[in-house]
């Protein structure tokens, strides 16, 4: 099979936006007419715990999560609360406290603050520790991120109370690989710089398994594994350049990435090699300067960038970006989108459950409505798979570009790459690690076993 | 060969910034017996203040030679500001606790770390601040087919200059004698009529100045990001554990060892980059528990 057929079969599309420019402008979707809630609704406030990085280098990714959450809560409260009665009160917590402290905080929130919903969380190091505790406490939990495959593969294999919104992590490495293979199919010598923890390892594994299916002869010529929170990358950069790679792949994120790209610029790292990142533009958009190299694959964790889908084609995005900008005077990132729509999906599930059972629905009823839910988010349709409670939406990545409208560098909406999520993640019931294979994730095994090899 | 030269330069650059942080930490411990857990945060604060000052005064556009000179002259503001902060903190926060067990000082400096980390976020926001215009204005030197940022050489020069200056100050000046006397026996120094309180303020302020200077010179190369201080503190501890807590030579040699070993780790054994620094520290502790230059 040749590469072009392969990518066509995968359904990778580039720059859907170009065709859309001639389409008529559609107004924002009209909110569903409010239906009076059934039965007696208590007027006690709903308490929510939102945990994200509020300090440390990850805050530039994490603060937007809380901002997205608060925006949704304010909107819902202004409209009278959920089911017209219950307003939202949010308790925030700083994820930077460390995994053990985060687990304690989760218990405290449930046991002494009596929260109704736990949400947020960014690090893949934290969700596998928090998930089992949330299950043990029977606490309805919707993680915004912390998207490691390990959560559903091993830590919580049969979730009941825990859900997760952003795309599963394996999709990130695979999306980056497909975009790179589509754009620079001749790149065979690959250099890697990844943070040394579960996310970086996951990105490395999934990039390589997918990329080597598409680009025969691809080989790793250099590896760098900086610690999370590193600010000096000069030695990694020199090593990377010394391996004379065709393509440099990185999953360094947050404030670390800002430090990395600024140093790499001065060493000329972007001059002779192409650059592809899974998550470079995942930070709050204004954190990326116009000095960032243009034309790089600058991923957004395969989730969402605020310029895409363009507002004329997907009004839900236009509305969301406008509201967010009006409230916070900045543009949202994928965490903002995730946190914002988490609350709205929760609200929708409660309204549906209320119509079925009346009164304030119990956890079981809310969960039954979240399972299998399809929801129109700013990023596109989001589907919650009932078997693993994982949110799936089409994966996106794009190319960095300077435009006059924004004082920072953006992802060019005209060349955004979209890939149907079902084609890059393992289907339900695919054997998990330890069930007949010992690959890092179910998706890794699924790609290894079922994807054809381009020749 | 080119790669080798650049990696050596990278190591010296990294050693310079490590030395600036570790020397202050070591000085404060040597004179006052305080393990200052907020030291890394002073370094971060220095970086933020300098980046803020350069960004505010010159914006983010490039400029000519005078422009560059102005920016370079503005950089040390971070160091001066942190020295001032130190001069306020020592008499108000630390001095009341000297008669208590040292756990109290650990707790209060840790508390200070937390308060300062949050204050930085409150004042400067979550977005990284950069003084990269200086880097850009100074350009790069071609070495073989590769480039090396000219500004990094400035950082090395500042590191070396600070080491020589500090050495001269401690071993060749009257104040240095007072400092060393106080460090050896505080009571005796006081009995001989030295104003120990004033020496403490000065020592603490100099230590803070070094941390602030570290942040100030590094910020054009790396950008000020939240949390950079905590990472720096851990690295500074590795340096002083290797070199010996309280020793200037120790901080100097320790910074060089840590930096070169880290670079070698990254170049040749990327898989164990995380572990390699702690392995050195563990090895030194096994052979010489007080560090290479430490006093028992």
User: Is B241 within a domain?
Assistant: no
Asked if residue A431 is part of any domain, the answer here is no
Query: Which run of H or E residues covers position A250?
Result: strand A247-250
Q: Distance, in angstroms, between B204 CA and closest chain A CA?
A: 26
pLDDT at A23: 46
Q: Which domain holds residue B209?
A: 2-225
Q: Nearest chain B Cα to A239, which residue?
A: B267
Distance from CA of A300 to the nearest CA of B (A): 17
Shared domain check, A207 and A110 = no
Q: Do A235 and B152 touch (CB under 8 A)?
A: no
Adjacent-strand bridge partners of A83 = none
pLDDT at A29 over 60: no
Task: Looking at the complex, report in whole angstroms how far the Cα of residue A263 sits from the nearest Cα belonging to chain B.
Answer: 6
A260 vs B contacts (CB less than 8 Å): none
In B, residues 219-278, which contact A (CB 8 Å cutoff)? 221-223, 225-228, 230-231, 262-263, 266-267, 270-271, 273-274
B102 close contact with A: CB closer than 8 A: no
Closest CB from B130, B135, B274 relative to A227: B274
Question: Which residues on chain A are in Cβ contact (under 8 Å) with B7?
Answer: 235, 238-239
In-domain check, residue A452: no
Residue A8 falls inside a structural domain: no
B265 vs A237: CA distance, rounded Å: 14
Which residue among B13, B262, B273 sits closest to A225, beta carbon to beta carbon? B273
Does A264 share its domain with A327?
no
Based on the fold, state whether residues A96 and A192 are members of the same structural domain: no
Among partner residues A58, A232, A239, which is closest to B222 by beta-carbon distance?
Answer: A232
Residues A320/A332, Cβ–Cβ less than 8 Å: yes
User: Exposed/middle/buried for B127, CB within 10 Å: 0-12, 13-18, 19+?
Assistant: buried
- What residues contact residue A116 under an 8 Å CB cut-off, 6+ apart? A46, A47, A48, A140
CB contact under 8 A, B274 and A225: yes
Residue A65 lies in a domain: yes
pLDDT tens digits, one per residue of A256-292: 999 999 999 999 999 999 999 999 999 999 999 999 9
Is residue A40, in this structure, part of any structural domain at all? no
Query: Does position A1 have pLDDT exceeding 90, yes or no?
Result: no
pLDDT in tens, A360-384: 999 999 999 999 999 999 999 999 9
Q: Between residues B235 and B68, which one has the greater pLDDT? A: B235
Q: Give the span between the Cα atoms of A256 and A227, in whole angstroms.
A: 10
Residues A69 and A158 in one domain: yes
Taking the C-alpha atoms of residue B150 and residue B142, their distance in angstroms, rounded to an integer, is 10
Q: Is the domain of A190 the same as that of A255? A: yes
Q: Identify whether residues A355 and A421 lie together within a single domain.
A: no
Residue B4: pLDDT over 50: yes
- B51 occurs within a structural domain: yes
Q: Is residue B55 part of a domain?
A: yes
| Model pLDDT, residue A27 | 46
Contact yes or no for A234 and B152 at CB 8 A: yes
pLDDT above 50 for A74: yes
Instruction: Flag if A96 and B266 touch (Cβ within 8 Å).
Output: no
The alpha-carbon gap from A371 to the nearest alpha carbon of chain B, in Å, equals 35
pLDDT of residue B65: 66
- CATH classification of the domain holding A69: 3.40.50.2300
pLDDT at position B126, please? 81
Decide if B249 is inside a domain. no
Residue A30, pLDDT > 60, answer no
Terminal alpha carbon distance of chain B: 42
Would the pLDDT of B277 be above 80?
Answer: yes
Task: Round the average pLDDT of chain B to a whole number and report it.
Answer: 90
Lookup: tokens for B25: 């930490």
Structural domain boundaries, residue A199: 170-302+402-425
Both A251 and A366 in one domain: the answer is no
Residue B170 lies in a domain: yes
CB A56 to CB B226 under 8 A? yes
- The mean pLDDT of B183-196, rounded to a whole number, is 90
Domains contained in chain B, number: 1
Provide the ipTM.
0.89
Q: Indicate whether B230 belongs to any domain.
A: no
Structural contact between residues A144 and A50, judged by C-beta atoms closer than 8 angstroms: no
Provide the shortest C-alpha distance from residue B174 to chain A (in Å): 38
Asked if the model's pLDDT at residue A36 lies above 90, the reply is no
The answer to whether position B64 is within a domain reads: yes
B165 with B213: CB under 8 angstroms?
no
Looking at the fold, whether A147 and A261 belong to one and the same domain comes out as no
What φ, ψ does residue A378 adopt, rounded to 5°? -60, -30
> Within this chain, do residues A295 and A349 fall inside the same structural domain, yes or no?
no
| Residue range A143-166: mean pLDDT, rounded | 95
**Cα separation, B223 vs A230, whole angstroms:** 12
Record: contact B14-A234, CB cut-off 8 A? yes
**pLDDT of residue A253 exceeding 60:** yes
Band (A396; pLDDT cuts 50, 70, 90)? very high
Per CB-CB distance under 8 Å, the chain A contacts of B10 are 234-235, 238
Domains of chain A: total:
2
Q: Which residues of B touch A256 (CB under 8 A)?
A: 225
Q: Is A455 a domain residue? A: no
Cβ–Cβ contact B149 with A under 8 A: yes
Q: Is residue B283 part of a domain?
A: no
Asked if A178 and A93 sit in the same domain, the reply is no
Q: Is residue A247 assigned to a domain?
A: yes
**Contact at CB, A258 and B126, closer than 8 angstroms:** no
């Amino acid at each position: 099979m040749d590469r072009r057929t392969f990518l066509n079969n995968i359904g990778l599309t580039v720059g859907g936006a170009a065709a859309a420019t001639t389409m008529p402008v559609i107004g924002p979707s009209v909110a569903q007419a409010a239906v009076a809630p059934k039965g007696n609704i208590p007027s006690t406030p709903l308490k929510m715990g939102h945990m994200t990085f509020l300090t440390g280098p990850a805050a530039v990714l994490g603060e937007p999560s809380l901002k997205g959450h608060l925006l949704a809560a304010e909107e819902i409260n202004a409209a009278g609360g959920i089911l017209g009665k219950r307003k939202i009160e949010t308790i925030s917590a700083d994820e930077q406290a460390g995994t053990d402290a985060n687990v304690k905080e989760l218990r405290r929130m449930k046991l002494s603050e009596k929260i109704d919903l736990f949400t947020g969380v960014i690090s893949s190091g934290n969700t596998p520790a928090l998930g089992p505790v949330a299950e043990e406490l029977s606490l309805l939990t919707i993680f915004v991120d912390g998207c490691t495959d390990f959560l559903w593969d091993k830590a919580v294999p049969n979730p009941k109370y825990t859900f997760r919104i952003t795309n599963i992590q394996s999709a990130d490495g695979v999306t980056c690989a497909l975009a790179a293979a589509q754009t620079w199919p001749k790149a065979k010598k690959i250099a890697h710089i990844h943070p040394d923890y579960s996310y970086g390892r996951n990105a490395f594994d999934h990039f390589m398994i997918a990329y080597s299916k598409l680009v025969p002869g691809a080989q790793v010529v250099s590896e760098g594994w900086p610690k999370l929170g590193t600010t000096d990358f000069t030695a990694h950069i020199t090593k990377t350049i010394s391996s004379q790679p065709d393509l440099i792949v990185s999953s360094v994120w947050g404030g670390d990435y800002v430090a990395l790209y600024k140093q790499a610029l001065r060493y000329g790292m972007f001059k002779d090699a192409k650059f592809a990142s899974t998550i470079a533009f995942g930070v709050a958009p204004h954190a990326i300067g116009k000095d960032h190299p243009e034309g790089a694959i600058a991923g957004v964790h395969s989730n969402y960038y605020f310029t895409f889908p363009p507002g004329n084609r997907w009004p839900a995005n236009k509305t969301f970006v406008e509201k967010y900008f009006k409230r916070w005077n900045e543009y949202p990132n994928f965490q903002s989108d995730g946190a914002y729509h988490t609350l709205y999906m929760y609200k929708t599930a409660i309204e549906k459950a209320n119509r079925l059972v009346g009164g304030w629905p119990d956890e079981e009823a809310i969960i039954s409505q979240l399972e299998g839910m399809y929801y129109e988010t700013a990023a596109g349709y989001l589907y919650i798979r009932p078997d693993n409670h994982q949110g799936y939406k089409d994966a996106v990545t794009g190319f960095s570009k300077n435009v006059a409208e924004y004082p920072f560098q953006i992802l060019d909406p005209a060349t955004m790459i979209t890939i149907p999520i079902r084609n890059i993640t393992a289907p339900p019931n695919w054997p998990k690690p330890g069930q007949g294979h010992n690959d890092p994730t179910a998706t890794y095994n699924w790609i290894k076993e079922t994807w054809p090899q381009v020749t | 060969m080119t790669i080798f030269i650049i990696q050596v330069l990278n190591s010296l650059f990294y050693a310079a910034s490590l030395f600036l942080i570790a020397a202050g930490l070591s000085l404060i411990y040597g004179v006052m017996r305080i393990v200052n857990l907020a030291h890394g945060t002073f370094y971060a604060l220095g970086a933020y203040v300098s980046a803020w000052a350069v960004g505010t005064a010159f914006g983010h556009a490039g400029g000519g030679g005078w422009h560059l000179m102005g920016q370079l002259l503005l950089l040390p503001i971070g160091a001066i500001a942190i020295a001032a902060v130190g001069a306020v903190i020592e008499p108000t926060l630390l001095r009341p606790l000297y008669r208590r067990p040292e756990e109290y000082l650990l707790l209060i400096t840790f508390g200070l770390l937390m308060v300062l980390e949050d204050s930085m976020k409150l004042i400067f926001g979550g977005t990284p601040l950069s003084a990269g215009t200086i880097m850009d204005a100074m350009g790069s030197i071609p070495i073989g087919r590769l480039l090396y940022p000219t500004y990094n050489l400035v950082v090395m020069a500042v590191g070396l200059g600070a080491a020589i200056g500090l050495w001269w100050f401690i071993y060749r000046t009257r104040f240095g004698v007072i400092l060393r006397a106080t460090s050896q026996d505080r009571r005796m120094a006081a009995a001989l009529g030295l104003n120990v309180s004033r020496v403490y303020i000065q020592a603490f302020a100099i230590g803070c100045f070094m941390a602030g200077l570290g942040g100030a010179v590094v910020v054009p190369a790396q950008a000020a990001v939240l949390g950079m201080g905590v990472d720096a503190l851990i690295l500074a501890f590795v340096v002083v554990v290797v070199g010996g807590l309280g020793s200037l030579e120790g901080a100097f040699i320790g910074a060089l060892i840590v930096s070169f070993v880290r670079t070698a780790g990254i170049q040749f054994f990327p898989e164990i980059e995380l572990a390699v620094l702690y392995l050195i520290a563990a090895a030194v502790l096994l052979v010489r528990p007080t560090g290479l230059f430490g006093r028992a």
